[in-house]
Amino acid sequence: MRFIRGSRFDARGAVRAALAAACATFAVAAAAQPQRPQRIVSINMCADELLLRLADRDRIASVAWLSRDEDNSNVAALAKGVPVNHGLAEEIMALRPDLVLAGAFSSQTSVQILRRLGVNVVEVQVPRNMDEARGEIRALAAAIGESERGEKMVGEIDAGFRALGLSAQSPRLRAVVMQPNGFTVEKGSLVEDIMNRAGLENLASRIDAGSYLSIPLEAVVLQQADVMILNGEVYGAPSLATEALSHPVLAALGRRLKVVAVPPKLWTCVGPGLVEAARLLVAQTRGARAARR
Amino acid sequence: MSAPGSQGAQRTDSHYAALVGALGFVVVAAFLVSLFVGYAGLDAPQAVSDALHGADTLPAIVLVELRLPRALLGCFVGFSLGLAGAAMQGFLRNPLAEPGIVGVSGAAALGAVTAFYSGLSQIIPLALPIGGMAGAAASALLLYALAGRGAGTTTLVLAGVAINSFAAALTSLALNLSPNGFAALEVIYWLMGSLVDRSLPQVWLALPFMAVGWLLLLASAPALDALSLGEATAQSLGFDMRRLRLQLVGGAACAVGAAVAVSGAIGFVGLVAPHVLRPFVGHRPGRLLLASGLGGAALLLVADIAARLLPIRPELKLGVITALIGAPFLFHLVYRLRREG
Amino acid sequence: MKIEVDAASVRIEDATILEHVSLVLHPGEIVGLIGPNGAGKSTLLKAIAGLLPLSNGAVRYDGAPASQTRLARRLSYLAQDGEVHWPLRVDEVVRLGRLPHRTPFAGESAGDRAAIERAMALAEVARFRARTVRSLSGGERMRVLLARALAVEAEVLLADEPVAAVDLLHQLRIMDLLRQVGQAGKCVVVVLHDLALATRFCTRLVLLAEGRKMLDGAPADLTDAIIRRAYGVSTLRGEHLGQTFVLPWAPLE
């Protein structure tokens, strides 16, 4: 990930890709510190979100620069005024941190240097479902000495999912996710868990034991998908993946297929955004659900 | 006149007609197979009858909106690549001249990528094929300036390497400047070429340009025949070399540029088709054109059918399959050219 | 067709290849274009064929300049290098000579086929019509290319060093063939190095040296003094059956 320093767009792409593929949230790998850390630096966007939501501002020394970008981050407002870093060991050492939060896939060279210099680095992992996501929140909260606030966040998220109001009998709709990187959401991922909680069945894990990384439109039609979820903006930057949305076959399907756009930042990282994503899916598929009933 | 002569000429003529007929048959057969091969079982008779009766059923939708454009583009793109390969080889008098190897496809991809990621093609749909053609034309002119008349293999390949790497560098630059963070990732796959999820509007967008390219290239047949005796002789036979150059650069740019703009850069078709078919047309560069176009169409359709039938998911990119088929031909050609010196 | 070369000059970059050359060519003539290397023989031949833009002067065909396509049927050009880029069949190569007579979208006419047969018979290549040119000897290959030039059935045949790379038998056969063409009333211009062949087979010789015309006359006009001046060699001269022949002998000191 050293090329993050290169150009802005390149770096953003790389980070987004890494996030989407890997860092849906994280598991804290190190034991909680006996003393509450006072100068916390995060070099990972998903760690940023929890840190900014859970810790007081005066204990946060720096967050990743991408967290200020409203298109990518749910906490851009909170990140305003917090010094930012680009994940370089040199700038992080200058901040004299007593705790560094890093992603399992981000800036490995920086992490190794920091560890050698005796800095306490906590690496966050990628959760594959809501249970692991809860674990990530609790673990990170413990590491920064805010277990109580962490527990509260878990409770709010759980309450949010309960409030979706889907009964056990409501029909499950078949959904397929189109991501701007051309891949679909594989079996056993956090996004799939969210889809299931929103009453949707991930078509990718149904077809051919999830061996489809990208689903051809033909399979979408013949497997009779009810919902197509665009993990991105319909009118965002030009992307070959969103080109699929202008394919006439979708127009031909008409009301048989509902297209829903979910901003990727909602379910890229662990946080209240997960509930928001689920709410959005439920609200947007209400019509399709009614038609199936 | 004397019997053996007219018979000899007529024999090659009827040979040629039989070859074109056979190739045409293979193309039609592969086209039909392509319509009825896919990921999920399609009730073919049902789909056809629904489509013909205008019934809006799922099989009909899949057949008309997805399988048909895919098969049509396989046909047209293959024809464009095969034809352009044969024409470039005839013009440069070198069997290694192929749109992919000499950088025309790469430059066309650059043009298409630029038109797409700048957002221009969202405002003006025609920007995509035009971008592809502009890239192809620029590289074809550059190639001619670098390699020129009767280019030696070394010069030609070096020119190709230069154009390809320059186009690749500019493509990366265009992607870096794109507001879409995934652009680079998407394009890596797109550049390998594919016909997945293409639509009828894309066919209608590219076809007119490809057709103009075909006409320009096919019309060069007599001049290419004459050119096998060198430029001076061809000129003395009444062919204007400047006009021919423009005609071929324009034709290759239209055909390859529009093809690449909708399918990505699919390599080796323009190498394999002429190479295989050349002996069957008595090595005449003019006759090779149509035969090679049909051969390219058949080859691409078959490769695209293979992509769907091979148990590899996500399906292999078309350019990967054509490269797997084509590379041995390239090795063979290089080996033979080396022996010939 | 009468061809007038009027004060033709050709400059390529800064080098003057041809300077102020004037010449009139008539039907029935066999003109030998001779001169040392770099004298401008091939350039003059291309200029006559209309293949080369002149820096100055003009070439007129029956009194008027002509376009390339017009010329293609009336004037046939045999290139020096004898290149054939693909392993084409002999009859396919000869066929190319009919290209100027083709109309778009029309096949080969009976007239075309007859012309091809005549040309192959004249050049005696019909025997190996079905072989590829790559399988032929240098002499046979040159005869095939000559047949291609003859198949145009033009009024003028321009041949650039057709005997430079062929054996003695083929030299004589090709020169004899050119003489037949000339005697049939066509105008033949042939670039030659061999003065013995030139003096024997041509009706007229044009000697170029350093881009200028040094001599334009009958073979008998090619004196030892002129050859010495143009080539820097001494010559021997003989006579056989009333024909003079010239033999280059030794470089001048």
- C32-58 pLDDT, tens digit per residue, is 999 999 999 999 999 999 998 899 999
Chain B residue with the nearest C-alpha to that of A225: B58
Q: What is the pLDDT of residue A18?
A: 45
Higher pLDDT, A234 or B255: B255
Q: What is the pLDDT of residue C184?
A: 94
Q: Is the distance from CB of C98 to CB of C116 less than 8 angstroms?
A: yes
Over residues A24-39, the mean pLDDT reads 56
Distance from CA of B288 to the nearest CA of A (A): 36
Tokens of B105: 């496809």
All chains having 3 or more CB pairs closer than 8 angstroms to chain C = B
Check pLDDT > 80 for residue A215: no
Tokens of C118: 């005549």
Check pLDDT > 60 for residue A27: no
Distance from CA of C10 to the nearest CA of B (A): 17
- Point out the residue among C68, C78, C83 whose CB comes nearest to the CB of B235: C68
Chain C residue with the nearest C-alpha to that of B235: C51
Higher pLDDT, B157 or A233: B157
Closest CA to C139 of C105, C110, C175: C175
- Mean pLDDT lowest for which of B100-114, B139-153, C11-25? B139-153
Q: What is the pLDDT of residue B4?
A: 45
Query: In this complex, do B8 and C130 lie within 8 Å of one another by their Cβ atoms?
Result: yes
- Mean pLDDT lowest for which of B51-55, B252-256, C208-212? B51-55
Over residues A76-99, the mean pLDDT reads 91
Check pLDDT > 80 for residue A35: no
Q: Is the distance from CB of C139 to CB of C166 less than 8 angstroms?
A: yes
What's this model's pTM, rounded to 2 decimal places? 0.85
Over residues B81-92, the mean pLDDT reads 94
Check pLDDT > 60 for residue C143: yes
Q: What is the pLDDT of residue A26?
A: 39
Q: Which residues of B touch A16 (CB under 8 A)?
A: 181-182
Distance from CA of B270 to the nearest CA of C (A): 18
Query: In this complex, do A13 and B184 lie within 8 Å of one another by their Cβ atoms?
Result: yes
- Residue B277 to residue C2: CA distance in whole angstroms: 45
Tell me the pLDDT tens digit for each residue of A217-269. 888 888 888 998 887 766 666 777 677 777 888 888 888 889 888 888 898 88
Do chains C and B touch by CB distance (3+ pairs < 8 Å)?
yes
Q: How many residues does chain B have?
A: 341
Q: What is the pLDDT of residue B79?
A: 98
Query: In this complex, do B182 and A239 lie within 8 Å of one another by their Cβ atoms?
Result: yes
Check pLDDT > 60 for residue A85: yes
Query: Please, what is the average pLDDT of chain B?
Result: 88
Q: Is the distance from CB of B82 to CB of B274 less than 8 angstroms?
A: yes
- Residue A202 to residue A200: CA distance in whole angstroms: 6
A30 pLDDT band, cuts 50/70/90, is very low
Q: Is the distance from CB of B85 to CB of B292 less than 8 angstroms?
A: yes
Residue type for C160, please? D
Judged by DSSP in three states, A39 sits in: coil
Check pLDDT > 50 for residue C188: yes
Question: C151 at the B interface (CB within 8 A)?
Answer: no
Tell me the C-alpha to C-alpha distance, in Å, between residue C192 and each of C18, C91, C168: 17, 27, 14
- Residue B291 to residue B226: CA distance in whole angstroms: 18
Give the best residue of B37, B46, B65 to mutate against chain A (max A CB count within 10 A).
B65
Q: What is the pLDDT of residue B341?
A: 52
Distance from CA of B75 to the nearest CA of C (A): 25
What is the end-to-end Cα distance of chain A in Å, rounded? 48
- Residue B269 to residue C5: CA distance in whole angstroms: 50
- Using alpha carbons only, give the angle B196, B217, B95 rounded to the nearest 5 degrees: 80
Q: What is the pLDDT of residue A3?
A: 33
Check pLDDT > 90 for residue C221: yes
Higher pLDDT, C145 or B181: C145
Check pLDDT > 90 for residue A104: no
Q: What is the pLDDT of residue B45?
A: 86
Q: Which distant-in-sequence residues (6+ apart) come within 8 Å of B19 by Cβ?
A: B277, B280, B281, B291
- Residue A138 to residue B134: CA distance in whole angstroms: 57
Q: Which residues of B touch A219 (CB under 8 A)?
A: 39-40
Do chains A and C touch by CB distance (3+ pairs < 8 Å)?
no
Higher pLDDT, B153 or C137: C137
- Residue A6 to residue A13: CA distance in whole angstroms: 11
Check pLDDT > 50 for residue A19: no
Question: A219 at the B interface (CB within 8 A)?
Answer: yes
Tokens of C123: 């050049």
Which range in B7-16, B89-98, B268-277, C79-88 is most confidently predicted, on average pLDDT? B268-277
- Residue C249 to residue C230: CA distance in whole angstroms: 14
Query: In this complex, do B9 and C148 lie within 8 Å of one another by their Cβ atoms?
Result: no
Q: What is the pLDDT of residue B6?
A: 47
Query: In this complex, do B238 and C110 lie within 8 Å of one another by their Cβ atoms?
Result: no
- Residue C67 to residue B240: CA distance in whole angstroms: 10
Distance from CA of C213 to the nearest CA of B (A): 24
**What are the backbone dihedrals phi and psi of residue B20, each rounded to the nearest 5 degrees, phi first?**
-60, -40
Tell me the pLDDT tens digit for each residue of A149-190. 999 999 999 999 999 887 767 778 999 887 755 556 767 788
- Residue A167 to residue A179: CA distance in whole angstroms: 29
Chain B residue with the nearest C-alpha to that of A256: B58
Q: Which residues of B touch C73 (CB under 8 A)?
A: 238
- Point out the residue among A9, A182, A216 whose CB comes nearest to the CB of B189: A182
Distance from CA of B41 to the nearest CA of A (A): 8
Largest CA distance in chain B: 72
Over residues B211-219, the mean pLDDT reads 97
Q: In the beta sheet, which residues pair with residue A84?
A: A63
C181 pLDDT band, cuts 50/70/90, is very high
Query: Please, what is the average pLDDT of chain A?
Result: 80
Over residues A62-85, the mean pLDDT reads 90
Q: Is the distance from CB of B296 to CB of B85 less than 8 angstroms?
A: yes
What is the bridge-based pairing of β-strands C187-191 and C15-25? unpaired
